[in-house]
Amino acid sequence: MSAPVTKAPVPKVPVSKMSLLELFKKRTRHPFRPRTSDIVTRIFENFKKHPTPGDSLVLGESDFQTHTLFVIGQQKPTAEDLKKLKPGVRAVNGMLTADEHSAIMTFLKHIRELDLDNAFIVNFIDTYGADISMYSAERFQAYHISSIIREFLLIPVKTISVLLGEGGSGGALALQATDRRGMIEDALYATAAPESMAAIMFRDASKIDDALNILNPTAKEMKRLGVIDTIIPATKDVNDADGLAENIQVFIEKSINDLSRIKIRKLMKYRRTRSEAFGLTATKSRLSELIKMFERPLKSYFQKPPRDIKTVKIGSINQMDDDMGEAIDNIPKDVDCIKCGEARKRGGEGDGCGKLIPLSEFLENHMVCPECGTGAIMGARGWIDCLTDKDSFFELYRNLTVGELLDSNDVSQSYRTFLEKQKELTDFNESLVTAEARIFGYPVVMVISEFNFSGGSMGVVFGEKFKRAVEYAVEKKYPLVSLCCSGGARLYEGIMALMQMVKTINAINLLKENGLPFISVLGNPSTGGAIASYASLGDVLIAEPGAMVIFAGPRVMTTSGFKVDEKYIRSDHLCAISGDIYKNLKYFHDIRGIHEVCARVDMKRTIVKYLELYFRLQPAED
């Protein structure tokens, strides 16, 4: 038995009467809240602990009734441990590193090999999120997360999860996608830790209260949305480990009894059905369920500048750098130009050489400076011109919107206003564009992030369109080509946005079951939930030069106290170190990093070599 948890003051307000901020500070983040080890050692008396690469991971096994239970747990440091840590790392300690996620994959493969009929996996979740240090980033942290989620969807073992305290982002989701899901009454489960959410949305990490009100991460809300099955009662005293263990044991025993009556094949089908349902809360009849929208966009959408392009004319320049005169000698005064590094009104390109480039030349080179190679972030329209044959792009499911998928009560007025503003920035209706197209004559289904719409963020429409595109690819027997250019999950949608990671991974499983190739192109940026789900699961991963490929962006990393050196989270470096993966396959398992880096101007030709191989290997029709 572990040592009893030190007594702490008991909050006077009942859990049900607390505000979100009070619940967060006085219960969920209480320093004396029981940790995973406190609960595990109380429930499983013969628990055999396995060695782990760090203190934030608990692995082990135990006999329980007539069953063999395998335990995987995330664990925050105790109050005593926190006192020993440097102040700058206290807030992030307790997040699983890439090393620990690798150990989970090894553990799951070990369980598979045992092939036990009476086995169960029980996960305990209590984390701010996954480790976002440079150490884990260089070890493909996001890829590990997507691989674990995929394994829990496919493993032929019955699974249970308990959200013990805090569930943060994809770090929590990696262990939460199980057959039976419980959550402690005073626990919180969110798309991002409140500090990170505040830093992203308000650019002020101190606005935790505002972030919590948008996230609404309560157990009651999670049950309403189908994210969990059972709310496990909290104890009166937040530090009552014995009482909490008793409540959790009741849930585990009931879950084992329920799951024991269901065959594993049926459970695995249910996992798919459940994954597909995330983000469909609307009770009204959906037109898209009755008809397949198959639309051809107006040709005026393509072959023209993005809406926020920032142009200048030579004749309008009053002042210029000393070396600019020679650069503009051959450009007529009435020709629209862009300045390298300042091509977009909203910025975001990074440092460029400052050269003036005729707009037509800039667009023909797919928004990349011909002088220094600096590329502006490109929206879906540009990527369509870059990757597909002219007049071959037929858009699918164009009119699928948030209003069609989510119940009106789940869409706040501020979110409606936000969506209307996004539509002013692009010709597309959402952050994912899906289509049937051709690449040098070869038919494909394409899914392309639209960065101009909410930063290409993953929301319920994104996930649903992705799923339908995969189903269309299976029906047509076409390869899937994805272009990722995403900043992560859409925080306005709370936990439903996070669940799209499971939904897209589930769709990729369907694609691979049908033997269809998946080519994943990583544009700049490829971050957050996108790279921690579908984008990292390609059979082939191709990245554009300088693409940021990381789970958490530099701003979140810096806010969390991490030092960031961007050159190590860019595609060129990550591709270079991907070759070392083959020296340590026991660590990386099925992860292969980035296969190659390719300039935009050559991307279409690079993709087609893989398509050509696939189509040439197909058996001839009788």
The DSSP secondary structure of 555-577, one letter per residue, reads HHHHHTT----GGGGBHHHHHHH
**How much of the chain, in percent, has pLDDT values that exceed 90?**
73
pLDDT confidence of residue 553: 81
Residues 6+ apart with CB under 8 A from 338: 309, 310, 311, 312, 356, 357, 359, 362
User: Per residue in 488-529, pLDDT tens?
Assistant: 899 899 999 999 999 999 999 999 999 999 999 999 999 999
Specify the pLDDT at position 461: 97
pLDDT of 329 reads 56
- Give per-residue pLDDT as tens, 321-367: 544 544 555 678 788 998 998 888 765 556 788 889 999 999 999 99
Q: What is the pLDDT of residues 539-562, one digit of tens each?
A: 999 999 999 999 988 877 877 778
In whole angstroms, give the CA distance from residue 73 to residue 79: 18
What span, in angstroms and rounded, lies between the C-alpha atoms of 130 and 127? 8
Do the domains at 25-277 and 380-616 have one common CATH topology?
yes
DSSP string, 408-447: GGGS-HHHHHHHHHHHTT-SSSSSEEEEEEEETTEEEEEE
**pLDDT tens per residue, range 440-455:** 999 999 999 999 999 9
pLDDT greater than 60 at residue 90: no
Average pLDDT over residues 574-588: 97
Tell me how far apart the alpha carbons of residues 582 and 579 are, in angstroms, rounded to a whole number: 6
pLDDT at 1: 44
For residue range 428-437, list pLDDT tens digits in order: 999 999 999 9
Give the start-to-end residue ranges of the domains of the chain.
25-277, 307-364, 380-616
Instruction: Please state the rounded mean pLDDT for residues 303-328.
Output: 65
Residue type, 124: F
Amino acid 334: pLDDT: 81
pLDDT, position 325: 47
Q: Which residues, including other chains, have CB under 8 Å from residue 398's CB and lie 6 or more apart?
A: 293, 295, 297, 428, 429
What pLDDT shows up at residue 526? Answer: 97
Integer CA distances (angstroms), 409 to 45, 170, 413, 493, 505, in order: 46, 26, 10, 12, 28
Q: Which residues of 33-65 are buried (b: 16+ CB within 10 A; e: fewer)?
A: bbbbbbbbbbbbeebeebebeeebbbbbbbebe
Average pLDDT over residues 194-221: 87
The answer to which of 49-53, 89-93, 398-402 has the lowest mean pLDDT is: 89-93
Stretch 271-282: mean pLDDT, rounded? 91
- CA distance readout (Å), 399 to 160, 392, 429, 490, 496: 38, 19, 7, 19, 20
Distances (CA, A) of 35 to 9, 39, 74, 241: 17, 7, 9, 8
**CA-to-CA distance for 199 and 264, rounded, in angstroms?**
42
pLDDT at 284: 53
pLDDT of residue 456: 96
Could you tell me the pLDDT band of residue 57, with boundaries at 50, 70 and 90? very high
Q: CATH code for 25-277?
A: 3.90.226.10
Question: Could you give the CA distance from residue 561 to residue 430 in angstroms, rounded to a whole number?
Answer: 33
Mean pLDDT of the chain: 89
The reported pTM is 0.92
Residue 246 CB neighbours (<10 A): 14
- pLDDT value at residue 280: 87
Q: Give the mean pLDDT of 110-128.
A: 95
Superfamily covering domain 380-616: 2-enoyl-CoA Hydratase; Chain A, domain 1 (3.90.226.10)
pLDDT digits 0-9 by tens, 465-477: 999 999 999 999 9
